[in-house]
Amino acid sequence: MRKIAVGIITAFVGGAMLVSGAGAASATATKHATELKIRDITPNPVVVKAGSETTAYFDIGASSDVEKVTLSVAPQGEFRTFRAKDVKDLEGWRFAVPFNENDFAGKWKATAVAFDKDNKQVATDSAFFSVEVQKGKADTRVSRFTADPYKVRQGRSIYFSGRLQVDDEGWEGLRGEKVNVYYRANGSSGWKWVASTKTKWGGKFSTKTRAWKSGTFKAVYEGNDELNGSESRQDYVKVYRSWHR
């Protein structure tokens, strides 16, 4: 009887161990890993116009065991100096980040970090987006414009020269741009085109026209999608006939 009892107890204990093992396996199977996902970034790309601000919204999904989510964004590539962006925490794991024209234009990385109830980091996720900064047009100026000589005989040439510059954190010569020269005769209120040329190295330009009547000249740069137009100071030329000075 003693041997039988021991055998029964052993079988019972063995059965209990088998049940316990199955229970452990079941618990392992039903335990889910922490989930964290940056589901959406709107807008993407983030387009920022000069003088304004654009807010990007980040929507993050997380499993029920997550107690807190943080978000950070940073530019990618060779960009080195970076001031951390202000991230506003909205409801339901949503975040808002404002961008302006001073921010890096290019590829950015968003990183989300999840924490549990013990403030322990349990998951991370990252996603990429881009920022496009539409700068305002750069200012230009036409400097040192002259019409020579200041007194010329009718039919002879009048020579124009000047320099086209762009304000790029300081005035620099603008090469390969078209400059037009206009003329207003004495007694007239309208301007008439007389010559065109393209700027060369350092933004310098020169051209000429025939002298017919005394009047005023000016050089005009029309500008383009990136550059504002500008015009020079006015320069007067007196034209005389061969028998009268």
Q: Worst-scoring range by mean pLDDT, 72-76, 90-94, 115-119, 163-167?
A: 90-94
Query: Going by C-beta distance under 8 Å and a sequence separation of 6 or more, which residues neighbour residue 90?
Result: 57, 96
Stretch 71-92: mean pLDDT, rounded? 76
**Amino acid letter, residue 111:** T
Residue whose tokens read 């890993």: 33
Mean pLDDT of the chain: 85
Query: Going by C-beta distance under 8 Å and a sequence separation of 6 or more, which residues neighbour residue 31?
Result: none
Confidence (pLDDT) at 97: 95
Query: Could you tell me the pLDDT band of residue 16, with boundaries at 50, 70 and 90?
Result: very low
| Dihedral Cα 71, 77, 80, 85, nearest 10 deg | -20
Q: Where are the alpha helices (DSSP H) in the chain?
A: 2-30
Helix (H, G, I), strand (E, B) or coil at 225: coil
Other C-beta atoms lying within 10 Å of the C-beta of residue 206 = 14
For the cut 80, the answer to whether the pLDDT of residue 149 exceeds it is yes
Which structure tokens are listed for 9? 């107890």
Confidence (pLDDT) at 31: 55
pLDDT of 154-171, one tens digit each? 999 999 999 999 998 899
Stretch 229-244: mean pLDDT, rounded? 89
Quote the distance between the C-alpha of residue 69 and its chain's center: 28
Spans of all domains in the chain: 1-31, 36-134, 140-240
Fold of 140-240: Immunoglobulin-like (2.60.40)
Helix (H, G, I), strand (E, B) or coil at 39: strand
34 or 184: which leads in pLDDT:
184
Which structure tokens are listed for 7? 């055998």
Q: Does domain 36-134 have CATH number 2.60.40.10?
A: yes
Confidence (pLDDT) at 65: 92
Residues recorded for the chain: 245
d(CA 123, CA 111): 11
Confidence (pLDDT) at 183: 97
For the cut 80, the answer to whether the pLDDT of residue 213 exceeds it is yes
d(CA 217, CA 184): 7
Percent of the chain with pLDDT over 70: 83
Confidence (pLDDT) at 107: 94
Stretch 51-55: mean pLDDT, rounded? 91
Q: Is it true that 36-134 and 140-240 share their CATH fold?
A: yes
Query: pTM value?
Result: 0.54
